[in-house]
Structure 1
């Protein structure tokens, strides 16, 4: 069980109106707890297991969604699946007065081991633009394509119910629920192609985000969110995993040298995005505990968040805790009494809805919250106190900032103080050597951004090239 973040909010006083704040026990004699958000509870409750089940069944009924499969048929193959997903997004948009931009983000791939001949890899995305910061993005993704035992077999039936119709259904359902609300930042709902053939859909969208200069502050990739009974014999519908990479793969030699002396190996933007989602689960998703897994993905394996990580964006994988490998990448068959294949009877729709709720609430919270602070710096070596500085946000949403800290061996933030609308604060008698620190931006309702660890290692925005 992750530790609940301890939060506090003091009433503003005259000292807090200055650009620099000295934090002492007297300033925080009056403390308030985190402000619970009823609208986030409502979003979690609005997710429908029945609608998700119907969407998974529709995707399964296309027979196969292999990247190299039929594209002209109206009933079979990835082309038909893509057109149906696009039509669903358009239907949702019509119901919210055109609030979604529905488009194809695509490229032609060839000469690859798993795509030897030219194939158009097409992503279907829907963008719900924010009212204040339309270029600030949080993304939820799921991959469309499916496969059987032979990764090049594009004709055999490959229902892909859990891997990954469950993730795509979650993306569509999140769009249905969140399109009823208006946000400060933008939300992108992405159905990606080409995952099984080499993560091509994610690469295409990550490059598109770069070209459009999107401020991507989080990618939640959902890949298998429907299975509750694992190959290990465990049945559990109360837990989920969040995989997150540590230091960025694009980290420079100079940045690595600095990190060696300041720490931050477990405080990348992706790690603090994962902590943020974990906190959402604790507060808003009943009977769900998320496991923070400090690894890019499952051992030696990959998913569609990786192309975003490769470009320096904060991205995580959300998925079930217990996998059943007999139901992944398998021909439909029965051998020695064991049933193989990714069929719909292996999906628990209530569990899929629970993980979809986790995504929807996390997206909403980040889109309502201010952007994560930029330029976070820290000082305090050989001093009794610790000082943090940051650039104040220029948006209409931010009303103040909260400093977090924790013991270096702890997975979650343990302590926090609200410091008001300032750009610098000092924690008196809190020694820099004993803790990790970070800063979050806060809006008028008390909704916060993810925590930003000081320096390049924790920044949510870097020069992505």
Structure 2
């Protein structure tokens, strides 16, 4: 198979005859480090007009209306599905029916563009979650609710991106199915983000497929997301990104001066403990514990944020957290990560635990409970905007490059990267190599590979020591909508 080798010079062009010579003379005159002398610093990518138009449609008022309605279902405990004495119009199944109606109304507005379904199953009695007492003690019906916006490109439509929040709630006693458990923040806020993303994005067409989900069973042990992730794995979904929103209400507690309405946390999985031991050893040997698919998805969120939100009139910043989740807590992104799908969790900057998993009450003048009054709907709208921009960027992109490798055949100060085209994409594709210093978390520099015509695998030679940086390769379209980067795997050729 023919190989294409692109050689990067210090002037950031291709097809130099001797990059090592150019490197030496440039260093003599500019005193730049090798990773600074090729390519350019990553800045703000120009906005895609389609995505910018979509963001203008995000409505804090609609988000407020949806959360208000969800709270009115009184108690959305997953196990309330087995109760027979609930007040009509309350409980988890009534909420599921209403969510499905919302998706269907959005589909009606776009001429039937959404495929709206229940993902129904029966969860069997189970052991305790996180060493707790069992939270499902008898066969319990569960309903995930989802809407699919099929990709407009027959090939790219095979790729999928999913957004989710959980619509079940809990009281202090996770087995309490009757007392008021509003869940205005945990997780009506995340469910509202998924609903608003479906409403807005259904007005546009994207090459890849988008799935908008509200899952049940999170509070009982991630049951709904676990079932959906297993289904995706079993059915062979090309699921390249999962965005989970859980507790994104921007808690507004009088007197709390440490909350930030300009930040949202983005949590992601490092090395999977279930990975083959050989993969874990290889990752640890090259310092690749932060180069996992989920961490790369989080970096893409940061890139999207720079383009669409952090430079707006009211800057909004995504903060990458190098943790799967918060201490003593878990979320639905874990279910997808465990199955090998890139996934992240969005959560407000500073949680108030008096307003989570609490019996609604007032004690000594302090209010407890996850009440509507503590949500900030403008904050939730900005989180929704970040999710929408991320989904749209990924759905418009060509998808992730495949078989990305770094040559480790020789001891030298150059780097040869090789890769193949994304699985399911059409149209013009160009590639961008990104890198950062090993002590830095986000991408710093980029090099555009200009000519990608001809046979694969593609290759590029950069006069940068692979020992001093982390590399990634991403695929972009003509509007600079790029996939998340794919880190290279060492390949020793003989």
* TM-score in terms of structure 1 length: 0.90
Q: Paired residue for 1:139? A: 162
Picking from 306, 318, 326, the partner of 2:334 is 306
Picking from 358, 361, 364, the partner of 2:389 is 361
Cα distance in 2 for partners of 1:187, 1:74 equals: 33
Q: How does 1:61-460 map to 2 (within 5 A)?
A: 61-70=72-81, 74-112=88-126, 113-132=134-153, 133-229=156-252, 233-285=257-309, 286=312, 287-380=315-408, 381-393=410-422, 395-420=425-450, 421=452, 423-455=457-489
Picking from 22, 40, 43, the partner of 2:51 is 40
8 A Cα contact 2:125 2:139, kept in partner: yes
8 A Cα contact 2:419 2:459, kept in partner: no
What is the DSSP-based 3-state SS (H/G/I as helix, E as strand, rest coil) of the residue aligned with 1:361? Answer: helix
Deviation at 1:36, TM superposition (A): 2.9
Output the aligned Cα RMSD: 2.0
Indicate the larger mover: 121-130 or 71-80.
71-80
Deviation at 1:232, TM superposition (A): 6.3
8 A Cα contact 1:389 1:424, kept in partner: yes
8 A Cα contact 1:110 1:119, kept in partner: yes
Q: Paired residue for 1:23? A: 8
Residue 249 and residue 107 in structure 1: after superposition, are their counterparts in 2 closer, same or farther (change >3 A)?
Answer: farther
- Summarize deviations over 1:182-205 as a string: whole Å, max 9, x none: 111111000000000010001011
8 A Cα contact 2:434 2:446, kept in partner: yes
8 A Cα contact 1:387 1:424, kept in partner: no
What is the DSSP-based 3-state SS (H/G/I as helix, E as strand, rest coil) of the residue aligned with 2:96? Answer: helix
- Summarize deviations over 1:350-384 as a string: whole Å, max 9, x none: 00000000001100110010111111000255212
8 A Cα contact 2:252 2:375, kept in partner: no
Deviation at 1:118, TM superposition (A): 1.1
Note the residue ranges of structure 2 that are not aligned, 5 or more in a row.
15-38, 127-133
What is the DSSP-based 3-state SS (H/G/I as helix, E as strand, rest coil) of the residue aligned with 2:305? Answer: helix
Cα distance in 2 for partners of 1:62, 1:243 equals: 30
Deviation at 1:212, TM superposition (A): 2.1
Note the residue ranges of structure 1 that are not aligned, 5 or more in a row.
1-16, 457-465
Q: Paired residue for 1:56? A: 67
Cα distance in 1 for partners of 2:462, 2:63 equals: 51
8 A Cα contact 1:137 1:187, kept in partner: yes
Cα distance in 2 for partners of 1:18, 1:306 equals: 39
Q: Paired residue for 1:3? A: none
Aligned length: 440
Deviation at 1:337, TM superposition (A): 1.2
